[in-house]
Amino acid sequence: MNIPHKSVPIADLHREPLRQLLTALADDHLILGHRHSEWTGLGPILEEDIAFSSIAQDQMGHALGFYTLLHEHLGAPDPDIHAFTRQEAEFSCCQLVEWPIGDYDFSLTRHLFFDLAAGLRMETLSLSSFTPLAQLATKIRGEVKYHIFHAKTMVGQLGNSSDETAKARMQTAINRQFGLALGMFEPRLGEQILDDAHIAPIESKWRERWLEALNAVLDGTGLQIPDPDRIEPVFGGRNGYHTEYLQPLLHEMTEVFRLDPQAEW
Amino acid sequence: MVSPAHEPTGVPLNAHNDQVDAIWEALRSVMDPEIPVLSVVDLGIITGVALSPEQSVTVRMTPTFAGCPGIRLMEKQVGEAVEQLGYEHVQVETDFSVAWNSNRISDRGREIIRNFGLAPPPKHNGEPDLDRLQHTECPYCASANTTLKTPFGPTLCRSMHYCFDCLQAFEQFKPV
């Protein structure tokens, strides 16, 4: 019962920029999904254990959706092969998603940063002129709403906490990874071409909306973001330059796959 | 590209005739593995059935959640259910051309979910209001004096709640 490939025509001019966009989205969701799954069994309370595990599972589904688009429309290999057999330098995830889970405050802050951006991305992409992407983004958007709801609730609780240590830890987590978070919006090669074709906006447009959304979330809390103009964004991930943390993650993630790539599950 | 209204063979999706109706009826025997009393039809994940003049069947499905771990199993069982009617060429396709949302659950499906012990998702106008999760009606005592414990649960499609009136924890099939 094979699912037939339902290719839609893509102009030659758009192919490479679209491949870059979809690979970045797929890799971000795959790698952060893997990181979130490391909270399974370790969450500070049962509800948070379940939340991070569920978000991880959602993100695996999202990654699969993007890899499937690459496979069906842009000639990329089968999603499993694509996800599990590339070398580190062939990954185009941003560096934010690679970092180890750290303490709960670090992971929670990263979850807020990432899902706020993912929500905006999916909202825009649900109107993409590339229909298969618009359909997938529409699907993902409804799921990310729950991620944002969760992140806002927890960040709000800790950010309004009467426990000054909790608040200080959250603020430190925000400051510490703000440059990494800005790295989510590293310009993609050919992004203007996709913008002109109403396939996807350039990253700086998303960055601007993300900063507004983030300020709105933190507004009612005792937390704030650093001045974005004074923080150096951590770029490189989109072009295959990664932290020392990605290779060990890939090694662990692909360990079972490498035992028998042809295995039927 | 909008979802094709016709299959490649030129047969419209969901045209009504006795044979197609019998296929839909057969699909009612395939259950959601996570709520094994709820059929894939009442869950609303079957988005089209087409029968070609050559008697080949296409069933189109859409997952509840992109990462739904049950979708491959359901595809297989859907195919088998149609094959049991005697069709030799059965194709099951899963795509996002019709996005599932919780409004697609039938009224009968909502009743089944409630009897299963889960709060059914409230109907919405395209955008569920997540603040309403704070006062989800308890499936045991119908009280709205409840609170949301977490928007996630034992499966991707459930959230966890607590009822202050009957003092029971309960789950909701969450609105999407």
- How far apart (Å, rounded) are the C-alpha atoms in residues A39 and A110? 13
* Overall size of chain B counted in residues: 176
ipTM over 0.90: no
Averaged pLDDT score across all residues of chain B: 90
Q: What is the pLDDT of residue B48?
A: 94
Q: Which among B2, B68, B101 is the nearest to A61, CB-wise? A: B68
Percent of chain A with pLDDT over 90: 94
Q: How confident is the model at residue A184 (pLDDT cuts 50, 70, 90)?
A: very high
Which chain A residues have a beta carbon less than 8 Å from that of B153? Answer: 50, 54
Tell whether A5 is covered by a domain: no
- Stated pTM of the model: 0.92
Residue B127: which pLDDT band, with cuts at 50, 70 and 90? confident
Task: Give residue for tokens 């044979």.
Answer: B19
For A87, other C-beta atoms within 10 Å of its C-beta total 9
Question: What's the whole-number mean pLDDT along residues A126-149?
Answer: 96
Task: Please name the member of B67, B90, B176 whose beta carbon is closest to the beta carbon of A142.
Answer: B176
Q: Could you write out the three-class secondary structure of chain A?
A: CCCCCCCCCCCHHHHHHHHHHHHHHHHHHHHHHHHHHCCCCCCCCHHHHHHHHHHHHHHHHHHHHHHHHHHHHHCCCCHHHHHHHCCHHHCCCCHHHHCCCCCHHHHHHHHHHHHHHHHHHHHHHCCCCCHHHHHHHHHHHHHHHHHHHHHHHHHHHHHCCCCHHHHHHHHHHHHHCHHHHHHHHCCCCCHHHHHHCCCCCCHHHHHHHHHHHHHHHHHCCCCCCCCHHHCCCCCCHHHCCCCCCHHHHHHHHCHHHHHCCCCCC
Which residue range(s) make up the domain with A50?
Answer: 12-257
Average pLDDT in the B85-111 region? 95
Inter-chain Cβ pairs, chain A and chain B, closer than 8 A: 86
Domain count for chain A: 1
Question: In this structure, is residue A4 part of a structural domain?
Answer: no
Q: Contact A174/A211 with Cβ under 8 angstroms?
A: no
Residue type, position B155, single letter: T
Question: Which domains does chain B possess?
Answer: 18-100 (3.30.300.130), 107-173 (no CATH)
Q: For residues B91 and B81, what is the distance between their CA atoms, to the nearest angstrom? A: 12
**A85 is a domain residue:** yes
Stronger pLDDT, A1 or A259, i.e. the higher one:
A259
Please indicate, yes or no, if residue A122 is contained in any of the structural domains.
Answer: yes
β-bridge mates for residue B58, sequence order = B50, B91
List, for residues B29-75, the tens digit of each pLDDT value: 999 999 999 999 999 999 999 999 999 999 999 999 998 888 999 99
CB contact under 8 A, B2 and A131: yes
Question: Does A6 fall in a domain?
Answer: no
More confident residue, B12 or A2: B12
Q: What pLDDT is recorded for position A153?
A: 94
- A138 contacts in chain B (CB < 8 Å): 96, 99
Tokens of B92: 């099951």
Number of residues that make up chain A: 265
A7, part of any domain? no
CATH (domain of A162)? 1.20.1260.10
Are A4 and B93 an interchain contact pair (Cβ–Cβ within 8 Å)? yes
pLDDT attached to residue A4: 43
Cβ distance B67 to A4 less than 8 Å, yes or no, reads no
Query: What pLDDT was estimated at residue B8?
Result: 46
